[in-house]
C-alpha cells in the first residue's frame, strides 16, 4: 500500500510533566511529584503519530532558536518527518506545555505558546496539494488560510476550541472534537463537511455524517497511565485510516485502539504506538 503524504500545520512544544498522586485544586500546592520532559505540541504529536502509523509526513511549524527546540523536534527527526518547513524564530521561545498528571492518568495543561503564536498566514505555502491536518494551538487565521488553500483531504482537530469560519467547517473532510468542543460548536456540528468524530473519553467515540451517526466504538480496556496526547493519536489514526480507504466503523475502531494504547504509556509523543502494535491489538494479540 502506498503511504499517504500528509502535511501537518500546527504547534511544537516541549512538555514538562509533573506526575503526582492528585492534581491541585485552585490555591492548593501538591508536593511529592516526579518530573519528566517530553517532546509535545498538538501539531508535532499528530505528525509523529501519523509517521509511526504509516504516513509520510511534512510538518509546517515555528519554534524558537533554543535548546528546547532541539529537544522538542528530536523524535520527529528520528521518525523521518520532513522538518524543512519548521523555522526557528530568533525573537521568540519554543512553545512549552506545563502538564500535571495524577495517579489515574488525568491531566491539567498550561501552555506558553511562544513561537506557535507567531505563525502568519502569509508565510503558508501558496498551494497545499497533500492531505492536510490542522489543530488550534496556533492562530485561527493561519488554520483558516491553510484550509482554504488545500486541494486534497482536509482534517481539523478543533482543539483547543475556538470558533472557525463556516466556509472552513464546510470544506472539511474530517472534523475531530470532544463532547465539550461539540457543545461549544453547537448547531454548526451538523454543518461541517465530511465526517465528524466526537470523542467520548472512556466510552470511546462516535462518527457522524450529515448529522447522522454512522459508527460508534468503545475502546479496549487498558490500564491508563497518562492520557496526554491520546486525542492526538486518535485524530491521526482516524485520518490515516480514512485516507487509506477504511470504512467508518473500521477507521473509528483503529483510532480508538491506537488512542487506548497511547494512554498506557507516559508522555505524548513517547507514547505514540506503531502500526504493528495497533494491528496486533486489532487482531486480539496483546504480545
235 Cβ neighbours under 8 A, 6+ residues apart:
46, 49, 133, 135, 155, 157, 176, 197, 255
Distance CA 241, CA 251 (A): 5
Question: Which of 78-92, 159-173, 257-271 shows the lowest mean pLDDT across its residues?
Answer: 257-271
Q: What percent of the chain has pLDDT over 90?
A: 83
Judged against a pLDDT cut of 50, whether residue 287 lies above it is answered with no
3-state secondary structure of 34: strand
Judged against a pLDDT cut of 50, whether residue 18 lies above it is answered with yes
Judged against a pLDDT cut of 70, whether residue 11 lies above it is answered with yes
Measured between alpha carbons, how far is residue 215 from residues 124, 153, 174, 199 in Å? Answer: 35, 20, 14, 12
Q: Which of 93-97, 263-267, 281-285 has the highest mean pLDDT?
A: 93-97
Give the predicted TM-score (pTM) of the model.
Answer: 0.92
Question: What pLDDT band is residue 165 in, cutting at 50, 70 and 90?
Answer: very high
Question: What pLDDT band is residue 285 in, cutting at 50, 70 and 90?
Answer: very low
**Average of pLDDT values for 73-91?**
97
| Candidate list 232, 247, 248, 280, residue with the active-site label | 232
Question: What pLDDT band is residue 286 in, cutting at 50, 70 and 90?
Answer: very low
Q: Which CATH architecture has domain 5-11+40-93+118-282?
A: 3-Layer(aba) Sandwich (3.40)
Domain ranges of the chain: 5-11+40-93+118-282
Q: What is the pLDDT of residue 268?
A: 83
For residue 258, count CB atoms less than 10 angstroms from its CB and return exposed for 0-12, middle for 13-18, buried for 19 or more: buried
Distance CA 82, CA 197 (A): 27
Query: pLDDT, tens digit, for every residue of 113-162?
Result: 999 999 999 999 999 999 999 999 999 999 999 999 999 999 999 999 99
Question: What pLDDT band is residue 266 in, cutting at 50, 70 and 90?
Answer: confident
Q: Which three cell numbers stand for residue 47?
A: 505528525
Per-position DSSP letters for 156-172, written without gaps between them: EE--S-----HHHHHH-
Query: pLDDT, tens digit, for every residue of 138-152?
Result: 999 999 999 999 999
Distance CA 114, CA 66 (A): 12
Question: Which of 151-165, 217-231, 253-267 shows the lowest mean pLDDT across its residues?
Answer: 217-231
Q: At what angle do helices 42-53 and 67-78 cross, to 10 degrees?
A: 20
Active-site residue flag, 82:
no
Distance CA 38, CA 224 (A): 18
Average pLDDT over the chain, rounded to an integer: 94
Radius of gyration of the chain (CA): 18
Amino acid at each position: 500500500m502506498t503511504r499517504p503524504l500528509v502535511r501537518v500545520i500546527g504547534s511544537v512544544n516541549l512538555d514538562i510533566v509533573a506526575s503526582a498522586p492528585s492534581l491541585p485544586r485552585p490555591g492548593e500546592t501538591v508536593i511529592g511529584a516526579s518530573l519528566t520532559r517530553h517532546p509535545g505540541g498538538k501539531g508535532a504529536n499528530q505528525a509523529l503519530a501519523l509517521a509511526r502509523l504509516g504516513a509520510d509526513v511534512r510538518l509546517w511549524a515555528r519554534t524558537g532558536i533554543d535548546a528546547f527546540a532541539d529537544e522538542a523536534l528530536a523524535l520527529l527527526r528520528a521518525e523521518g518527518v520532513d522538518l524543512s518547513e519548521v523555522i526557528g524564530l530568533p525573537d521568540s521561545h519554543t512553545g512549552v506545555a506545563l502538564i500535571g498528571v495524577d495517579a489515574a492518568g488525568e491531566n491539567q495543561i498550561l501552555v506558553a505558546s511562544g513561537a506557535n503564536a507567531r505563525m502568519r498566514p502569509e508565510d503558508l505555502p501558496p498551494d497545499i496539494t497533500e492531505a492536510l491536518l490542522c489543530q488550534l494551538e496556533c492562530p485561527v487565521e493561519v488554520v483558516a488560510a491553510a484550509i482554504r488553500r488545500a486541494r486534497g483531504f482536509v482534517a481539523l482537530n478543533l482543539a483547543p476550541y475556538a470558533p472557525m469560519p463556516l466556509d472552513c467547517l464546510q470544506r472539511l473532510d474530517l472534523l475531530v472534537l470532544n463532547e465539550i468542543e461539540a457543545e461549544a460548536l453547537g448547531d454548526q456540528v451538523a454543518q461541517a463537511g465530511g465526517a465528524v468524530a466526537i470523542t467520548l473519553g472512556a466510552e470511546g467515540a462516535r462518527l457522524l455524517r450529515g448529522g447522522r451517526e454512522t459508527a460508534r466504538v468503545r475502546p479496549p480496556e487498558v490500564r491508563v497511565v497518562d492520557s496526554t496526547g491520546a486525542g492526538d493519536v486518535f485524530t491521526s489514526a482516524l485520518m490515516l485510516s480514512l485516507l487509506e480507504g477504511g470504512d467508518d466503523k473500521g477507521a473509528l475502531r483503529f483510532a480508538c485502539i491506537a488512542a487506548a494504547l497511547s494512554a498506557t504509556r507516559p508522555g505524548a509523543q513517547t507514547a505514540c504506538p506503531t502500526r504493528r502494535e495497533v494491528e496486533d491489538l486489532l487482531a486480539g494479540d496483546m504480545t
